[in-house]
Amino acid sequence: MGQIQASKVSPPPVKRRAKTPIKTTLLLAGSALAITCALLLFVLVPTGGMGGSASGTSGRGVLSPGMPAPDFALAGPDGRTFHLADYKGRAVFLAFVPSWSDLRTAQEMRSLAKKAGEFDLAGAKVFAVASGDAAAANALRDREKLPFPLLLDRGGVLARRYGVPGGNARTTFVVDPAGQVKFRVSDSAITPADHGQQLLDVSKCCIDEVTAARASGVGKAVGDYSLPRADGGAMATLYGDGKQAATVVLFLSVQCPCANAYNDRLPALTKAYAARGVRFVGVYANRDEALPEIAAHARKTGFAFPVLKDERGLCADHLGATVTPEVFVLDRERVLRYTGHIDGSRVAAEARTHELKDTLEALLAGRPQAIPAATRPFGCGIVR
């Protein structure tokens, strides 16, 4: 078993409790947060940070603490391309595996899939990365019903840029919402059948930062914004004629499975509250979703509210949206009252909290004190 070494980049200390047995020797260094993160079942080696480029990283050795980690544009077996920079503001886990076909990878992926719902609520995003071919990745994804992306690292180029031993060793990188790569989890520390819980424990080091970022605008007025309608009509604004009791802005997606999990819930919910004076607006901000497919998606799903295309992601920046689905609720005075997820689970039957409904009921009843606190949205990062 190896040792834990904390990153030299010291974020603000937060309160944490270890929930797993300590199986490693702790080398205490850095802040209280780093010490807490060390109380886990990992061999953690310091690396660098996340950013928009890979300058200064040659692929020969691990990233230096505090350096921007290489951004990437990697495709999954379905051809969709993912960029690391699109997930800034969330905890991100890059799970490099030696192949899509070996038994330990299947165990690891199965473990991660079992914790997918908890990753969502923790604001964490998981990517599995390997140099294998699309057929093997598809076979693994379909067999294990994996809900997270499998990325094809052709020739192991990204693995080498991240300093993965041999370019193909089983290694997981932990990236916090501020863009700092805090730790590298080495092969000797990974328990494939329990790796989901291991990563869930690590994500607790980043949760407070995600929460603070999402809640920063609550209680502040938000200006209007105009966007083209996906159905080819004239430009429309978020607030329309301004006569509504409240405005709900929903960031949606054609392709995101998390957003599409709400397709059966949203038509009835939006129709019921529209009848009570609430304006709903759907915004599609993914760069890789074109107007015709957005319009077709809205028609097929039965959305009766304006659906807008945020071509350059500027409206997402205006409100601070980072994922789909994500909801923003504004009162009659255009003050942001709630932001976060729609309810507590992508699976309707498993939702134990209903934040959007509760916020609207509180606003319509004139009880602002009953509005839920901002939550962490879960879903797919908005593709820029």
- Domains (range + CATH), the chain: 3-210 (3.40.30.10), 226-381 (3.40.30.10)
Mean pLDDT of 224-251: 88
Distance CA 86, CA 82 (A): 8
Confidence of residue 67 (pLDDT cuts 50, 70, 90): low
Strands (E), 235-353: 235-237, 246-252, 278-284, 307-309, 323-324, 326-331, 336-340
Distance CA 90, CA 39 (A): 22
Asked if the model's pLDDT at residue 331 lies above 70, the reply is yes
Mean pLDDT of 195-205: 79
Q: Is 157 helix (H, G, I), strand (E, B) or coil?
A: helix
Asked if the model's pLDDT at residue 66 lies above 70, the reply is no
Quote the pLDDT of residue 79. 87
Asked if the model's pLDDT at residue 116 lies above 60, the reply is yes
pLDDT in tens, 83-108: 887 666 667 899 999 999 999 999 99
Quote the pLDDT of residue 318. 84
Distance CA 15, CA 9 (A): 18
Instruction: Look at the pTM and tell me if it is higher than 0.75.
Output: no
Quote the pLDDT of residue 70. 81
Mean pLDDT of 134-158: 94
Of 222 and 58, the structure prediction assigns the larger pLDDT to: 222
